[in-house]
Amino acid sequence: MLKYIVAFLAFAALGIWLLTKGGGDIDLGGEKHDVQVPHGTEKDAAPKK
């Protein structure tokens, strides 16, 4: 069982290393909720009738 854990950790570390060195755009910081949405005028935001 220990072999499987060590192999998993080795492959996970290798994968993360390859993604960071290969220019992959990865972020290990978790979920981000700061979505940038361009805001229009209040007239654009009003519901259309």
Bigger pLDDT: 48 or 8? 8
Q: What is the pLDDT of residue 45?
A: 59
Are 6 and 14 within 8 A, CB to CB? no
**Position 6 pLDDT exceeds 90:** yes
Q: What is the pLDDT of residue 19?
A: 81
CA distances from 42 to 13, 37, 45, 46 (A): 49, 14, 5, 6
pLDDT in tens, 7-43: 999 999 998 888 888 766 667 777 777 766 666 655 6
**Position 2 pLDDT exceeds 90:** yes
As a residue count, the chain comes to: 49
